[in-house]
Amino acid sequence: MRAIQRPMEDHWLAGSEVWPLSCSRRGRCSDFHRRKSDCCQEANDSCRCHWLHCEPEADMTADMAFECVLVSRDPNVVSTVNRVLHNLAIHTRHCLTPSRALQELGGGSTDLLVIDCDERDSALELLNEITRRTGKQTVVAVSSSDRCIPHTHFVLRKPMDFQSSVQSFGRVYSCMLRDYRRHARYAVLIPVIARDDRDRLLPVTITNIGDGGIGLRTEEEIAVGDVLLFCLPLPGARRAICVEARILWTRDYGMSGCEFVRISPIDLDILHDWLKLKCQIKKPLVAM
């Protein structure tokens, strides 16, 4: 991603469970809303000052774009891919050799790799090396054969033409955008009062927020599997949201990662709206 510090890559995402008020698990759901009300009432005074203590965030801007490394010696492939990715507002760096591509990928800012696999040995060597190092990029292979190509997410067939490539890379772009939003983390510094499943009140500081969970810091003793309930004021949102989160990992220096367990549908909408405002990717030049 160009012109932005990449989001933290703590891969502790897990599926959130959203229970409406009328769900069949009425007993547990009612208990959740009772504890949610109690927690928000007890934390009310603390929540009022959260807005004053939020750390300024490095928001994404409209100038930020996905970055691509293209590896090919085929003039038609280079020309077609460059045109298509330009229309998708994806910045492309062209490399003639796998060794040069590895140097580019070493910078850590590449989101997409497009590799011409007709030079079979060098292409497979590059794909194996990328998988061994990080494996975080979306990988598109271009090939004139129908063989299976390992370590790739999409395969495009030669000869390439502009119209079919627009459709193919449109699907690639949609997957990249969805994946980026799912894994992005946004740094904050929000103190909250959390209630655990033993009814203890714990002061914690939320350090980052993502689609599937949060990172936090606390001096209190917590363990993997503990469930915390707290009200979270998102900077700029119309109101605080109440969430229940489970501890997935902890560190000796007080940092922990959590997955969202339960969020009401209304609060989930507020969270998603807030995340969308933070995730501002440069828009394609053509309609998607």
Contacts of 157 (CB under 8 A, 6+ apart): 142, 143, 144, 146
Do the beta carbons of residue 183 and residue 11 sit within 8 Å? yes
Query: What tens digit of pLDDT does each residue of 87-107 get?
Result: 988 889 998 888 888 888 877
Res. 252 pLDDT band, cuts 50 70 90? confident
Please choose, from the candidates 174, 244, 242, 188, the residue with its C-alpha nearest in 3D space to the C-alpha of residue 217: 188
- Beta strand ranges found along the chain (DSSP E): 67-71, 91-95, 112-116, 138-143, 154-157, 186-196, 201-209, 213-217, 227-232, 241-250, 255-263
Q: Among 90-99, 189-198, 217-226, 258-267, where is mean pLDDT lowest?
A: 90-99
d(C-alpha 153, C-alpha 138), whole Å? 6
Q: 76's torsion region: left (phi>0), alpha (psi -120 to 50) or beta?
A: alpha
When pLDDT is cut at 50, 70 and 90, the band that residue 223 belongs to is: very high
Same structural domain for residues 212 and 179? no
Of the candidates 92, 51, 88, 86, the one whose C-alpha atom is nearest the C-alpha of residue 69 is 92
183, 218, 234 - which closes a domain: 183
Do 164 and 192 lie in a common domain? no
Domain boundary among 133, 168, 183: 183
* Averaged pLDDT, 265-287: 79
Q: What mean pLDDT do residues 71-93 have?
A: 91
pTM as predicted: 0.56
Residues 158 and 257 both lie in one domain: no
Residues spanned by the domain of 96 = 67-183
| Statement: residue 1 has pLDDT above 80 | no
Based on the domain organization, do 96 and 43 belong to the same domain? no
Whether 287 maps to a domain, the answer reads: no
pLDDT at position 49 over 80 = no
Which pLDDT belongs to residue 131? 75
Q: How many residues are given for the chain?
A: 288
Which pair of structure tokens corresponds to residue 221? 């003793």
Q: Rounded distance, CA 213 to CA 211, Å?
A: 6
Q: Total structural domains in the chain?
A: 2
Q: Which of 183, 202, 236 is the last residue of a domain?
A: 183
pLDDT surpasses 60 at 58: no
Q: Give the C-alpha separation, 261 to 244, whole Å.
A: 5
CATH of the domain at 85: 3.40.50.2300
Residue 33 host element (H or E): helix 26-42
Average pLDDT on 242-268 reads: 92
pLDDT confidence of residue 232: 93
State the DSSP string of 73-135.
Answer: --HHHHHHHHHHHHHTT-EEEEESSHHHHHHHHTTS---EEEEETTSHHHHHHHHHHHHHHT-
Residues facing residue 204 across a β-bridge: 192
**Helix 75-87 and helix 162-183: axis angle, to 10°?**
50
Give the separation between CA 200 and CA 132, rounded to whole angstroms: 44
Q: pLDDT tens for residues 200-219? A: 999 999 999 988 899 999 99
